[in-house]
Amino acid sequence: MVNPMSEPMTPRERAPYSAIVDRTPLALPGAARIIVWTIVNLEVWDISRPMARQVLPPPTGQVLLPDIPNWSWHEYGMRVGVWRFFELFKRLGSTAEPVDQCPGVPRLCARGPGGAR
């Protein structure tokens, strides 16, 4: 079988168009009215190269290396923020998909949302 994600797909190729007025109502468990889907994107950066996205653009318009302000946000997320998400999910009794690729951060992969601490 061909991996469906091996080639880029347009939104219409992923799911056919359907107008909300033509759909049957979605019944959520326990008569819930909202679903919250939290996606935490964990990325590995090389500090010696420009970052793909910048939260704080450089004041001169030129990429600064190392990019300390944006690197700091990244490091906080990998060292502190993601662990706080794991604790929040646990406290809320929520489920989460495990982290399955962790280049350079094996401790994070070892933990995952349901793994050992």
Global pTM reads 0.58
Answer whether residue 96 is part of any domain: yes
Answer whether residue 1 is part of any domain: no
Answer whether residue 3 is part of any domain: no
pLDDT of 96 reads 67
Answer whether residue 49 is part of any domain: yes
Structural domain of residue 39, as residue ranges? 11-111
pLDDT in tens, 30-75: 989 998 887 777 777 788 887 776 777 777 777 777 888 778 888 8
- In this structure, the number of other CB atoms found within 10 A of the CB of residue 86 comes to 20
Answer whether residue 65 is part of any domain: yes
Answer whether residue 51 is part of any domain: yes
Answer whether residue 85 is part of any domain: yes
Answer whether residue 58 is part of any domain: yes
CA dihedral 51, 40, 36, 56 (to 10 degrees): -30
Q: What is the count of structural domains for the chain?
A: 1
Local confidence band at 97 (pLDDT 50, 70, 90 cut-offs): low
